[in-house]
Chains A and B, each alone.
Chain A
Amino acid sequence: MAVAFGALAGAGLSLGGGPRPLAAGRSAGLDRAAGETRTGSAMARERDLGSLMDAAQRGDAAAYRALLQACLPLVAGIARAQGVRGEAVDDVVQDTLMTVHAARASYDPARPFLPWLAAITRRRAIDRLRRAGRRPQEVHDPLAFEAEVDPGPGPGAALETRERGAALARAVAALPEGQRQAVEHLGLRELSLDETAALTGRTKGALKVNLHRALKALRTSLGQEKE
């Protein structure tokens, strides 16, 4: 019943033709502002629905219209909770409303309204699911699905690239000064040995050694990070 209560409270029902108490508590927000507990207001709504049905049994069309409108989200919610999906939900709503109409004499105003409605809805939802189960289903073809390659970047590819770059920057920043310079200029900016030597004032031999040690250190640190 929690589903029904939730749907009822969340739907912000507008029951134009209803009796006065409904107009007073039109939305869940108002109710809460008035300091009313959620369950309490749901119970009040249930009583209101019951009294609407009571009026409908006596032939009050306005009350009946308001009641059915209020039932629409409830029925859809219960049908979804029962496992009905997509357009079938609307079919269940239609079936349920017609059954409610045919069975309206069986509602006893002394008893709560929602269990009555929920029982009808669940039965119609089960009927619909059974009928759908008998119809041939869409053919599953996992091979076709797997053989189709999406050429674009996968979801989250940009994020992954950024994270890899950040990790590399952290690892490079952690290197000793000479090795860091060698990696930055030779490896990342792709300068030549001569240019780098001129920029940093180190010998080409020292740069080679530093690059070699830096790559080794990076391989170790990035490898560890991956694990």
Chain B
Amino acid sequence: MVARHDRLVEDLAGRLEPVRRLPRPGLRTALWLAAVAGIGALLASRLAMIGLDGRIERLDLALAALGAVLTAVTAAYAAFATSVPGRSPSWALLPLPFLALWLGASGPGCLRSLVAPVADLPAEHEGVGCLGFLVCVSIPLSLLIVAMLRRACPLRPNLTAALAGLAVAAAAAALLMPFHPDESTVADLLVHLGVIGGVIGLNGLAGGRLLSRAPG
């Protein structure tokens, strides 16, 4: 048995190559957020920011936007932190208050449209456009964060992947806000929630496998 270990030690030492040390989770989060900001800047140069007109004054929408941004930041940090062995898995709790703020602040807008349905439901093509937007933004962000996380060693791949999914979904929703044509409505929120759930679920399923580093 000991001979077996000695052989492995010799083998690993023989195969040793210098590695570039992984940056701290904070720095890696900042890198990923820079990519998000880059996509945002690209979109801003192409699309009309119709969503910003008269929206910043509305407290609930501003809070929802703030919640989405903070959720994206904290969930990304939690994903990068939990991908390093020896860091506490409790980091996964960090984005939860901001997630509550985001979803909670999105609620009143929906209630208003339920109680006083003067605001029309979004026309079908708008709903599809919004869905397409979320999906198109989510895919590159997911690929990027999973590629970055794979450089570390996530010992809880499913947890890390779900956090990455939350970060991507929140970032995509935050990016969508300036370009969104309508006030938030029930259908709107349902579409968002569906996409968020799908992104988290897909990341959890695929990412968990991609991130798993179990030998054999």
Contact = CB atoms under 8 A, between A and B. Distances in A.
A57 interface: yes
A22 interface: no
Contacts of B213: 99, 102-103
Nearest to A94: B8
A202 interface: no
B14 A106 contact: no
Contact of B85 (A61, A68, A101, A116): A116
A65 B86 contact: no
Interface residues of A, number: 40
Contact of A105 (B4, B13, B16, B20): B20
Contacts of A134: none
Given A98-B215, A108-B21, A103 B12 contact: no
Contact of B13 (A65, A108, A124): A65
A124 B87 CA distance: 16
A59 B18 contact: yes
A57 B19 contact: yes
A99 to B, nearest CB: 6
Contact of A90 (B1, B9, B21): B1
Nearest to B7: A94
B16 A59 contact: yes
Contacts of A135: none
A90 B19 CA distance: 27
Nearest to B2: A72
Contact of A58 (B12, B18, B87, B214): B18
A88 to B, nearest CB: 11
Interface in B184-216: 213-216
A225 to B, nearest CB: 52
Interface stretch (B108-116, B131-139, B147-155): B147-155
B12 A120 contact: no
A168 B13 CA distance: 70
B5 A90 contact: yes
B124 interface: no
Contacts of A116: 84-86
Contacts of B22: 105-106, 108
B184 to A, nearest CB: 40
B13 A103 contact: no
B90 to A, nearest CB: 13
B68 to A, nearest CB: 29
B86 A93 contact: no
B120 interface: no
B57 interface: no
A103 B85 contact: yes
Contact of B9 (A57, A97, A99, A118): A97
A101 B16 CA distance: 8
A58 B18 CA distance: 5
A57 B21 contact: yes
A46 interface: no
Interface string A58-77: 11111011001100100000
A111 interface: yes
A19 interface: no
B48 to A, nearest CB: 43
A47 to B, nearest CB: 15
Given A61-B16, A99-B153, A106 B84 contact: yes
Given A90-B5, A108-B84, A115-B86, A99 B20 contact: no
A127 interface: yes
6 contacts: A57-B18, A65-B9, A97-B8, A102-B153, A107-B21, A109-B21
Interface of B: 1, 4-5, 8-10, 12-22, 24, 83-87, 151-153, 155-156, 213-216
Q: Which 10 pairs, one residue from A and one from B, show the smallest C-beta to C-beta distance?
A: A103-B153, A59-B18, A116-B86, A115-B86, A105-B19, A119-B85, A65-B13, A123-B155, A68-B9, A98-B215
Interface of A: 56-62, 64-65, 68-69, 72, 87, 90, 93-95, 97-99, 101-109, 111-112, 115-120, 123-124, 127
